[in-house]
Each structure stands twice: as C-alpha cells, then as structure tokens.
Amino acid sequence: MAQAAECDVVIRAGWLVPADEDRTTITDAAIAVTGDRIVAVGTRKELAHWQAGRVIDLPGAALMPGFVDGHNHLFQALAKGLGEGQSIWPWLCNFMWPYAMEMSPSDARAAARLGAVEAARSGITTIVDNHYAPTDLDTTLAVADAIEDAGLRGAVARGILGRRSEVGVKRGQPEPLYRYDSSDELAITREAIAARPPGSRVEVWPGPVNLSYLDQDLMAASIDLARELGTKWHTHCSEGSKDPDTYLEFYGVRPVEWLAREGLLDARATLAHAIWLDDAELDAIAAAGAAVAHNPTSNAYLASGSMRLGDMLSRGITVALGTDGPSCGHRQDPFECMKQAISIQRLATLDPTALRASEALRLGTAHGGDYTGFDVGRLRVGALADIVAVDLSAAHTQPVHDPHSTLVNSAVASDVVLTMVAGSIVFADGQMQTLDEADVIAEANEAAHHLISRNPALAGVS
Ligand SMILES: [Zn+2]
C-alpha cells in the first residue's frame, strides 16, 4: 500500500478523460490537486492514499480538461441574436463594424463580464479574446480584468488596425473604424503587454486584426513586437473566400505565402479561421510551427467555408477550437463546436472517419493548450489544474458506452457542473463562485439596451 500523501482537493468521478495521445478513459476515477497543479491522476483505488483537505464526489460525472476557446470577441456579447442571415463580409460591413464603432468602454467591459460568465459555465477555462472595440489602453486592460475576475485565464489579443489600407478601402471598410495610426497602435499594445506580460493569468498579445487587409508594414511590426516582448500573436487569416484573391490582386502573393516569405510566420502565430489556404500555405504553417484556431460554428453560421482540417492534422499542425464570439454563433459552447467540427468535416469530405469524437475532444483541450502556450488542456501530473466535470446522468447522456463519444456527441454546455481553474473552483453548485451573476447579466442587458437605442439600425439588420 502506498504511503499517505497530502493534497488540497480530491475530485472523484465516474469517468476521467485526460485527453492524452492514447485517448485513454479511466473509470471510477479520481484526481488530486495541490495549489494550482494536478498532483495525481488515476482510479479512485490508485488515489486512495491521498488525504485531501476537501473531497468532491461526482459519481455521475466525467472529468476532463478545461476547454480552450482559441478565438473569441467578448465585446460582441451585447449583440447576441442580431445580424442574422449574412455572409462574412456583408455581416462585417453592415452589422459588426457599425456595432463595434458604437461600443463604449463600459459596454465592452459589461460584454466581457457576461461572456466570461458564459464561458466559465460552459467549461471554458482559457479564452483567447481578440478585442478590437474600443482598443484604448484602459478598455483593453478592463477586458483582461473581466476574464481574470471571473476566475478564468487567457490572453487578450489587442486588435491592431492602424490606418485603412487600400485593400480596406476597396472592400468598403468604414473609415471611423480606424482610430489610431500605426505608431499609436504599437505604443498602446506595448503598454498593455507591460501591464500584463507573459506569465500573467491573462496575458496581452498583439492582435493585428486581419492579415488579408492590414497594412503589411504594420502586420510585420506587430509580429516584431510579439518577438521582442516574448508573446504570441493573433490574427484573422483567410476567413472569407475572397481574401486570398484580393490579396493576390494587390500584392501578387497569397497572404500566408507572404508571411512565410518575409520570415514572419513563426511558432508565436495563432491564426484564426485559416479556411482558404492552398497546399503551400498549409506546408508553410506546418514548417513554422504556427497554430490555427478552427471556428466551426461561426464558419457555418456566416457561410464562410469548411476548413481543411484533415490536411492540417496530417501535417502535424496544432488546431484549437474557437467559438468566435457571441455574435457569430450566439453561444460560447465548446460542445457545439466539437460536434459542428465533426459534422462539417464529414459533410465536406463524405468521410465518416474525417474527425472522430476523441480527436475533436483533443482539439478543444490538448491542442488548445499547445496553441496558447499555457500548460493546460491535458489532465496529467504537473499540469495546471484546469478541470471540468460534466454530468452524464441525464436522459440525453445515458447510457454511457464511451465517454469520449458521450461528451462530444451527446453532452451540452449546461451539463457542466464544475469548473476549476488553477486549482480554484470558479463554477459549482449551479452558480458562479467568483462574482454576482445576476449583477453581470443586469449590467450587460442595460448596456445592450442603451447601445441599440443609440443605433436602432443594428437591431433592424436581421
Ligand atoms: Zn473572429
């Protein structure tokens, strides 16, 4: 018999899915946590010698790593339910950019708080938030605070736009969207990173908004800033079907090809969407060790396209899942994203093995951890204790033959019963443990109401 060992918390559950390479399932499982780290994982019997300050018993639940939302825009949470029935570019021009221009700092903060609560309740422990409205220093840091105050971790990729490029003019982007010149963008981002440097619970990264229309010099300078300060960087990459063609027309090169040619594509890159890529671009991403965020629900909702997921995974590319914010899917639901990713791949390839449930679960967790650089996304000894418990005892999740399949194909976000981040319980017993949820919802509703009364056309676009 093993010698007694002490820890802070032991959680026991019916199943544990560590999201490892072998797609292991442990039944009658337990996990031990001390401080912010996992100290033991195994069967309940194997962990019997652990003496815990607190024991949580969830026999009807499965434990899994916290989800990583690899691409979000929390500021969009006040526009849930609006902007229906448009493809990506008209949606941006007619709806999202006018909404973004209407946002006040307090609106952005209220939206981020609401979105962070939804994320925590859905089992998301890490958010990469591409924040682009408004992007003054205080608001950028307030969004980071909102994520941290909810108890979550992540990164705010501060949206960098600079001055409107020729591509932006041609594609009809509104001039008022562009508030800062390049040097101001870089200076504010530098200051925000200084306030939340690498290693912070919520970091700040440069987020040059979109590779397909951003000024090339500013794109390069944003990446240089990430290299200088040791952060990752984040951008939208060939989300719209016309993005590569427009880029080719202006610059004579495809967007990712340009990044690679200039030596800008690197392992710090987190590329959102990455739908319309050719083989050479996929090879370049793989060679650089760059990572991608796949946003299946948004890609379907905005009719953007189906990503070449199989071609990425076979090249060894890290592919996180993202919700793309509350306006592009109207729910920050990682379960929906996993299932949508499967459906889209199977429909696009007519291959029922295109993405298996266990692989989809690894995209939402282990790949997400690699994508962000945080030691999360796998339940293993030494990793950060970002742990989620999903109740599988309801009619829609019974019987459980294979927990991977049940979690991906049957469970929904509201089945999450416990969310732990770095060893602290953020959501349990049906309520947030970190803040007053009713207050957050009331504040967001009031902000949303005022915002729409300032620009009623936003509610009319549907
Ligand atoms: Zn996006």
Peptide bond into 456 cis (omega under 30): no
Q: What is the pLDDT of residue 153?
A: 98
Distance from the alpha carbon of residue 140 to the mean position of ligand 1, in angstroms: 17
Distance from the alpha carbon of residue 94 to the mean position of ligand 1, in angstroms: 16
* Angle ∠(218,291,317) on CA atoms, nearest 5: 140
The pTM of this model reads 0.97
To the nearest whole percent, how much of the chain has pLDDT over 90? 90
Beta bridge partners of 68: 126
Distance from the alpha carbon of residue 272 to the mean position of ligand 1, in angstroms: 7
pLDDT class for 461, splitting at 50, 70, 90? low
Distance from the alpha carbon of residue 204 to the mean position of ligand 1, in angstroms: 17
pLDDT class for 1, splitting at 50, 70, 90? low
Q: What is the pLDDT of residue 360?
A: 98
Q: Set out the domains of the chain in order of their start, with CATH numbers.
A: 5-65+377-428 (2.30.40.10), 67-372 (3.20.20.140)
- Higher confidence at residue 223 or residue 462? 223
Distance from the alpha carbon of residue 360 to the mean position of ligand 1, in angstroms: 20
One-letter identity of residue 234: H
Averaged pLDDT for residues 94-105: 93
Distance from the alpha carbon of residue 72 to the mean position of ligand 1, in angstroms: 6
Distance from the alpha carbon of residue 328 to the mean position of ligand 1, in angstroms: 8
CA distance 298 to 311: 20
Distance from the alpha carbon of residue 386 to the mean position of ligand 1, in angstroms: 25
Distance from the alpha carbon of residue 354 to the mean position of ligand 1, in angstroms: 25
Cβ atoms of 107 and 78 within 8 Å: the answer is yes
Mean of pLDDT over the chain: 96
Averaged pLDDT for residues 57-81: 97
DSSP-derived letter for residue 355 is S
Distance from the alpha carbon of residue 273 to the mean position of ligand 1, in angstroms: 8
Cβ atoms of 189 and 206 within 8 Å: the answer is yes
CA distance 155 to 272: 14
Within 8 A by CB and 6+ apart from 450, the residues are 107
Q: What is the pLDDT of residue 176?
A: 85
Q: What is the pLDDT of residue 462?
A: 45
What contacts 24+ positions apart, CB below 8 Å, involve 338-345? 338/363, 338/364, 338/408, 339/408, 339/409, 340/296, 340/297, 340/300, 341/294, 341/296, 341/309, 342/408, 342/409, 343/296, 344/296, 344/299, 344/300, 344/306, 344/307, 345/306, 345/309, 345/310
CB atoms near residue 459 (< 10 Å): 15
Averaged pLDDT for residues 264-288: 98
Distance from the alpha carbon of residue 58 to the mean position of ligand 1, in angstroms: 36
Cβ atoms of 354 and 310 within 8 Å: the answer is yes
Lowest mean pLDDT among 92-96, 167-171, 279-283, 305-309: 167-171
The per-residue DSSP string of 362-421 comes to HIIIIIHHHHH-SS-SS--TTSB--EEEEE--SGGG-S-S-HHHIIIII--GGGEEEEEE
Distance from the alpha carbon of residue 406 to the mean position of ligand 1, in angstroms: 29
**Is 90 exceeded by the pLDDT of residue 322?**
yes
CA distance 121 to 428: 9
| DSSP 3-state of 136 | coil
What is the signed CA dihedral for 452, 455, 457, 460, rounded to 10 degrees? 0
The owner of tokens 């889209």 is: 344
**Is 90 exceeded by the pLDDT of residue 399?**
yes
